[in-house]
Amino acid sequence: MPQQTYFINNAFLSDGWTANVRLSVDDKGFISRLEKGVCAERGDQKLGTVIPGLVNCHSHSFQRAMAGLTEYQNSPTDTFWSWRKTMYRFANLVSPEDLQAIASYLYLEMIKQGYTSVAEFHYVHHQPNGTPYSCASQLSQSIINAANIAGINLTLLPVLYMTAGFDGQPLLEEQKRFGNSVARYLDIQNEASQYCANQHQHNVGIALHSLRAVPADPMNEVINHFVKQSVSCPIHVHIAEQTQEVEQSIKSLGKRPVEWLLDNHAVDQQWCLIHATHMTPEETTALARSGATVGICPTTEANLGDGLFPLREYLDQGGHIAIGSDGNTCTNPMEELRWLEYGQRLVTRTRNVSSDNTELHTGTNLYGRCLDGGGRAIGQKTGALKLGCRADLIVLDDNSADLANIATDSILDVLIFGTSQSLIKDVMVNGIWKITHYHHADEERIKNMFISATKAMRG
Ligand SMILES: [Zn+2]
């Protein structure tokens, strides 16, 4: 039996904007019925303009504590590698309690701005000297707890991290918290899966930090472990983010990172490649045709000076994309989408790079692609208002000046390119209202926990 029914004036469905839609949501939070072009019935909750919530396909929660604190010059040639020193300092300060508080606040911010699911690429596993906690998955549990406190759907991706570089050098002192053998990694992955086994809105996948941090044999071992058990879960990997990484890959593996991965693994829709910034046209085509998703993190890639993803070429070959907040200096998906397009405009000196003849509106095109790619990247039924999907949705503020007097097919363009105000009034996650009238019920408490947790760290 449906738990609740909703009548929506204007809904963004998989096949476009549709008027007068009735949704039924069952007691597990799934859409159990969808009717179009109908009238409201007694007992329906009435909603105005509704769009599906987005998936954030890539986050490192603890980095939210250091947002804005790396914006000063260390040397005239600052790069990703000098940023990484500050990141390691924060990674080594965070306790399980701190991580839970920081992630809770971060996830609350994400929900308020339109993300209803997050994939946490979680690589800090142990105590600072590398000794495991008495419960090996302690920090994974902090992340799961945080998702429950804020009320976001979580895809936890415990990360395998083994070496300090392509040549197999042992981990540096500041990387000890991240390191695992394959056996210990599988234990953490298993423990974390047990910890959230009864919560269908969460799932646990696999993450391989990068080709420089995971040698070929352990990578095979982990993937084969799941293949043998016929377990199909998301597999995420950082790849080709930095030109230095590409050069080292060619030197050590004889191939570029994306080329090597595609040649050595059956990359398919189970995979999400994070960044994939530096590719040849041949790699771009092969990756697009593999069925994998690329997780693009525009504000982080800009912040770190990574480079620019070959978006148009990849989309032209049928590639799938999702967006991630990565370093969490920005938790607003509309800004990620805006910069995904703006980066392309700046280098090509053209406009509306992401639109095509299937969908002329750039905002609609980007939003629709990232809804689809987001669901693929986390292997969950989300990202669409359709039967069998989770009821993860956003109600826009129809009383805003920005949405007044505009045609329906411009709504997503306005949301992404036409305003710096939030137009997200209410957010439903997994069938439950988490944001009502711009407000989360536990907002003050969660914010205060974040402030306490970051006091010593930021000092
Ligand atoms: Zn990352």
Looking up residue 97, the CATH number of its domain turns out to be: 3.20.20.140
* Whether residue 64 is found in the same domain as residue 81: yes
Q: Is residue 124 part of a domain?
A: yes
Query: Which of 354, 378, 402 is the endpoint of a domain?
Result: 378
Domain count, the chain: 2
DSSP code string of 429-450: ETTEEEEETTEETTHHHHHHHH
* Whether residue 9 is found in the same domain as residue 63: no
Is it the case that residue 263 has pLDDT exceeding 80? yes
pLDDT band at 36 (very low <50, low <70, confident <90, very high): very high
User: Residue 87: what pLDDT?
Assistant: 92
Instruction: Give me ligand 1 centre to Cα 209, in Å.
Output: 8
The residues with which 33 forms a beta bridge, in sequence order, are 24
* Whether residue 270 is found in the same domain as residue 358: yes
User: Residue 74: what pLDDT?
Assistant: 81
Q: Is residue 246 part of a domain?
A: yes
Q: Is residue 82 part of a domain?
A: yes
* Whether residue 6 is found in the same domain as residue 120: no
Alpha helices in 4-66 (DSSP H): none
Question: Is 130 strand, coil or helix?
Answer: coil
Rounded distance between C-alpha atoms, residue 320 and residue 81, angstroms: 29
Length of the chain: 459
Using CA atoms, how far residue 436 sits from 112, 151, 166, 328, 442, in Å, is 9, 13, 48, 24, 12
CATH number at residue 12: 2.30.40.10
What element of type H or E holds 391? none
Percent of the chain with pLDDT over 90: 93
* Whether residue 202 is found in the same domain as residue 339: yes
CB-based contacts of 439: which residues, under 8 Å, 6+ apart? none
Instruction: Give me ligand 1 centre to Cα 121, in Å.
Output: 7
Instruction: Give me ligand 1 centre to Cα 152, in Å.
Output: 19
* Predicted TM-score (pTM) of this structure: 0.97
Instruction: Give me ligand 1 centre to Cα 157, in Å.
Output: 12
Which residues are in the CB-under-5-Å shell of ion ligand 1? 326
pLDDT digits (tens, 9 = 90+) for 348-387: 999 999 999 999 999 999 999 999 999 999 999 999 999 9
Q: Which of 247, 305, 299 is nearest to 73 (CA)?
A: 305
Instruction: Give me ligand 1 centre to Cα 272, in Å.
Output: 12
User: Residue 2: what pLDDT?
Assistant: 54
Is it the case that residue 75 has pLDDT exceeding 90? no
Q: Is residue 312 part of a domain?
A: yes
pLDDT digits (tens, 9 = 90+) for 380-391: 999 999 999 999
Residue 54 CB burial class (10 angstroms; 0-12, 13-18, ≥19): buried
* Whether residue 347 is found in the same domain as residue 414: no
pLDDT band at 82 (very low <50, low <70, confident <90, very high): confident
**Which of 278-284's residues contact partners 24+ apart within 8 Å by CB, and which partners?**
278/240, 278/241, 278/242, 278/243, 278/245, 278/246, 278/307, 279/240, 279/310, 280/256, 281/310, 281/313, 283/256, 283/258, 283/259, 284/310, 284/313, 284/314, 284/317, 284/319
* Whether residue 183 is found in the same domain as residue 266: yes
* Whether residue 83 is found in the same domain as residue 98: yes
* Whether residue 17 is found in the same domain as residue 150: no
Q: Is residue 436 part of a domain?
A: yes
Query: Which of 378, 397, 420 is the endpoint of a domain?
Result: 378
Residue-range definition of the domain harbouring residue 400:
2-52+384-440
Question: Is 119 strand, coil or helix?
Answer: strand
Is residue 275 part of the annotated active site? The answer reads yes
* Whether residue 213 is found in the same domain as residue 123: yes
* Whether residue 433 is found in the same domain as residue 408: yes
Q: Is residue 407 part of a domain?
A: yes
Query: Which of 356, 378, 400 is the endpoint of a domain?
Result: 378
Residue 121 CB burial class (10 angstroms; 0-12, 13-18, ≥19): buried
User: Residue 78: what pLDDT?
Assistant: 82
Q: Is residue 232 part of a domain?
A: yes
* Whether residue 211 is found in the same domain as residue 148: yes
Query: Which residue among 58, 126, 278, 326 is the active-site one?
Result: 326
Query: Which residue among 275, 320, 361, 440 is the active-site one?
Result: 275
User: Residue 79: what pLDDT?
Assistant: 83
User: Residue 85: what pLDDT?
Assistant: 86
Q: Is residue 423 part of a domain?
A: yes
